[in-house]
């Protein structure tokens, strides 16, 4: 079983952690973020992406003996327990009328903070009357401008079965939100935010299970409220405070992680990715040009990263090949032609694996009725079930992956939901928990999934490798942080409405919250757009595995690489600093802007997209040339059509079909 407070070692690109102690408390800084504990056991300030995101200290509120709990400032504090480059440990304390609050806080180098909240009796033996605590909530007040979007996971159940919906992401409604227990909730804006997480609701007693978590708007503040107790805790009810029967602490385990979690890679736009079902790239014929092999087509397309999908290993997710020489030959062929190879791995234990009989009962994810999750059919004939990273199979999976990478020379991984902490009730490996009535509930092993991802990243990243992570609507940042990039949207791909009308089925706010990655600090690829790239492009996503039949494929690659978008600032249509306006309403414009030093003119690569799924429009775009230092004159060039775009003092117009776009480069004349 994973250790909630496990020791860690720092990994590039995160710098060493910094700690500052003073009379005002303790500051802990990681890349891009600072957590401040102002002589309190819980954070009093969190800075991320250059701004303060808390509207006030994180607080524990409630009732005690018929009165509101009032925590005393006097005597409260926080102490530095230990610190190194990779992890800082703090302990905190505070008291109120008849209670004591203790905390233990572990902050890792990537900004993931694990918090134990312990509430215990505070009076001496002379006061034997029972403690009456009918309400205890933890509240995280966020500044309203830093909490406009939300994402939570899972959409429903244990996260096994996927909903064909993006309803678990979007804009925070004016009336707020109420949710049943979710192991991960993120609130933020397009460039950052704060994730809260917990592996289970053990110890929680919300009055209404559907309102265990609330998001409430209150003027300039958005409050994330965790309803830990709405009734007297079962362990304390009617218990006198005698030495013989003094009740123990109430324990609530949870975590926080401010985002973005790491620097954005500058050379992402140079990756040209292609998938193939197996390692037979030199033998398989291209389905669009049957006179050529898949490999020939990759060479023509300038592909530099190849993903060997499930077919390279006959036993699903096992790291074994019955054609090891052919796998090595295919990898060598790619390497000889300047291509990197990523190998598919997932999260399953296959019935075809020889270890099945020995380990299945111990490692599979179970629902509360003891039924294994999954059971998907694969070729050759087998069924694959969801394994739990909190079991011995987590270690075995890491071992097998590292061994196969060394054996076959893979450069990285294409992971299929390996980061997902599927809800698990398998008590044989420590998952699941039982309430006072004995009912079994799932554990979501975030720490174990995080450990698997961190170990893989620790092996692959220093060797110049890459981890592509495919997940569906599970942007749980403590596990996602150890991917170089993520794929999202397969759960939407299967229904045409999401491809043909993303504006009304996915929505702009949901896309900005979940699918573009800027807010998490992890690049994203959107899997539900098919041939229609307008929606991802206007959000700053140049999907690296662009559809083979997309007419604009090569010109998009060339345009983004020639402009070197990695050295430019991306200004989305939602940014007030964007010097571009567009009409009508379904037309959105975003831009990559590169400014020269001093007062010199800027360059801009602009994406203009009609996001309507069924209506062509006459798009009207106005660029504030003076804001770009281009008021001395500017030219506009359509890089896809390779032709000049007529402009009149920054104004231009053109027709756009449904889900069509233009990519226009502006520069000084």
**What tokens does 591 get?**
């831009």
pLDDT at 1: 37
Return the closest-CA partner of residue 406 out of 331, 305, 482, 346.
331
State whether the Cα torsion 217-107-390-263 is positive or negative: positive
How buried is residue 102: exposed, middle or buried, by Cβ count under 10 Å (0-12/13-18/19+)?
middle
DSSP string computed for 277-313: SSS-TTTSBPSSSTTSBHHHHHHHHT--EEEE-GGG-
- Asked if residue 646 lies in contact with residue 652, where contact means CB atoms within 8 angstroms, the answer is yes
pLDDT at 237: 82
The three-class DSSP label of residue 632 is coil
**What tokens does 145 get?**
């401008």
Low-confidence ranges of the chain (pLDDT < 50): 1-2
The DSSP 8-state label assigned to residue 53 in this structure reads -
* Integer Rg of the chain from CA: 27
Taking residue 573's Cβ as centre, other Cβ atoms within 10 Å add up to: 21
Q: What's the length of the chain?
A: 669
Q: Decide the pairing of beta strands 340-345 and 348-350.
A: unpaired
Domains, the chain, in order of start with CATH, read 18-259 (2.70.98.10), 268-488 (3.20.20.80), 569-668 (2.60.40.1180)
Which residues, in sequence order, are bridge partners of residue 223? Answer: 141, 216
pTM for the whole structure? 0.96
DSSP string computed for 73-98: STT-EEEEEEE-SSEEEEEEEEE-SS
- Asked if residue 190 lies in contact with residue 512, where contact means CB atoms within 8 angstroms, the answer is yes
Cis peptide before 621 (omega within 30 of 0): no
Taking residue 463's Cβ as centre, other Cβ atoms within 10 Å add up to: 9
Chain segment 400-425, per-residue pLDDT in tens: 999 999 999 999 999 999 999 999 99
- Asked if residue 582 lies in contact with residue 603, where contact means CB atoms within 8 angstroms, the answer is no
Rounded-to-integer distance, Cα 580 and Cα 426, Å: 54
Q: Phi/psi zone of residue 181: left (φ > 0), alpha (ψ -120 to 50 degrees), beta?
A: beta
Up-side HSE of residue 490: CA atoms within 13 Å toward CB? Answer: 11
- Asked if residue 615 lies in contact with residue 647, where contact means CB atoms within 8 angstroms, the answer is no
How buried is residue 220: exposed, middle or buried, by Cβ count under 10 Å (0-12/13-18/19+)?
exposed
Rounded-to-integer distance, Cα 89 and Cα 104, Å: 7
**What tokens does 294 get?**
């898949």
The DSSP 8-state label assigned to residue 537 in this structure reads H
């Amino acid at each position: 079983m994973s250790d909630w407070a496990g020791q860690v070692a720092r990994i590039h690109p995160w710098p060493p952690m910094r700690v500052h102690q003073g009379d005002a408390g303790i500051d802990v800084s990681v890349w891009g973020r600072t957590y401040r504990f102002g002589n309190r056991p819980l954070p009093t300030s969190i800075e991320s992406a250059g701004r303060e995101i808390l509207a006030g200290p994180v607080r524990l509120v409630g009732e005690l003996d018929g009165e509101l709990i009032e925590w005393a400032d006097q005597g409260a504090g926080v102490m530095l327990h230990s610190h190194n480059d990779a992890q800082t440990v703090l302990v905190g304390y505070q008291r109120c009328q008849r209670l004591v609050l203790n905390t233990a806080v572990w902050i890792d180098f990537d900004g993931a903070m694990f918090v134990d909240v312990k509430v215990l009796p505070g009076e001496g033996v002379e006061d034997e009357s029972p403690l009456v605590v009918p309400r205890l909530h933890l509240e995280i007040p966020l500044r309203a401008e830093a909490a406009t979007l939300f994402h939570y996971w899972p959409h429903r159940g244990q996260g096994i079965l996927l909903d064909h919906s993006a309803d678990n992401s979007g804009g925070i409604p004016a009336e707020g939100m109420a949710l049943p227990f979710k192991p991960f909730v993120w609130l933020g804006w397009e460039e950052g935010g704060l994730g809260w997480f917990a592996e289970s609701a053990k110890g929680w007693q919300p009055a209404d299970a559907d309102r265990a978590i609330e998001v409430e708007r209150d003027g300039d503040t958005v409050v994330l409220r965790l309803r830990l107790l709405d009734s007297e805790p079962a362990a304390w009810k009617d218990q006198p405070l005698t030495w013989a029967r003094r009740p123990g602490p109430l324990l609530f385990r949870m975590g926080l992680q401010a985002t973005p979690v790491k620097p954005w890679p500058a050379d992402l736009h140079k990756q040209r990715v292609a998938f193939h079902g197996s390692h037979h790239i030199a033998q398989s014929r291209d389905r669009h040009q049957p006179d050529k092999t898949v490999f020939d087509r990759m060479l023509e397309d300038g592909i530099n990263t190849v993903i060997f999908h499930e077919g390279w290993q006959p036993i699903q997710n096992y790291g074994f090949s019955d054609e090891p020489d052919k796998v090595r030959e295919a990898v060598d062929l790619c390497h000889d032609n300047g291509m990197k190879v990523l190998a598919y791995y997932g999260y399953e234990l296959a019935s075809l694996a020889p270890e099945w009989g020995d380990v299945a009962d111990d490692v599979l994810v179970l629902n509360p009725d003891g039924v294994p999750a999954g059971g998907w059919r694969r070729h050759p004939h087998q069924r694959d079930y969801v394994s739990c990273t909190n079991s011995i199979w987590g270690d075995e999976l890491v071992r097998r992956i590292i061994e196969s990478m060394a054996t076959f020379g893979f450069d990285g991984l294409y992971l299929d939901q390996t980061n997902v902490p599927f809800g698990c009730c398998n008590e044989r490996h420590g998952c699941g928990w039982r309430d006072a009535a004995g009912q079994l509930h799932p554990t979501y092993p975030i720490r174990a999934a995080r450990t698997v991802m961190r170990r893989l990243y620790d092996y692959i990243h220093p060797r110049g490798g890459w981890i592509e992570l495919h997940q569906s609507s599970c942007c749980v940042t403590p596990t996602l942080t150890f991917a170089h990039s993520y794929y999202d949207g397969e759960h939407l791909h299967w229904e045409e409405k999401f491809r043909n009308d993303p504006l009304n089925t996915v929505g702009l706010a949901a896309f900005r919250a979940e699918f573009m990655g800027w807010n998490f600090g992890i690049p994203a690829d959107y899997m539900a757009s098919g041939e229609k790239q307008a929606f991802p492009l206007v959000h700053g996503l140049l999907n690296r595995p662009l559809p083979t039949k997309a007419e604009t494929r090569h010109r998009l690659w060339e345009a983004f690489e020639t402009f070197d978008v990695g050295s430019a600032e991306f200004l989305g249509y939602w940014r007030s600093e964007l010097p571009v306006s567009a009409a009508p309403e379904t037309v959105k414009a975003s831009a990559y802007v590169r400014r020269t030093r001093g007062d010199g003119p800027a360059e801009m690569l602009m994406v203009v997209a009609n996001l309507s799924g069924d209506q062509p429009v006459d798009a009207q775009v106005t660029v504030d040339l003076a804001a770009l230092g281009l008021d001395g004159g500017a030219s506009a060039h359509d890089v896809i059509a390779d032709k000049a775009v007529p402009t009149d003092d920054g104004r231009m117009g053109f027709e756009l079909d449904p889900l069509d776009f233009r990519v226009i480069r502006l520069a000084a004349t």
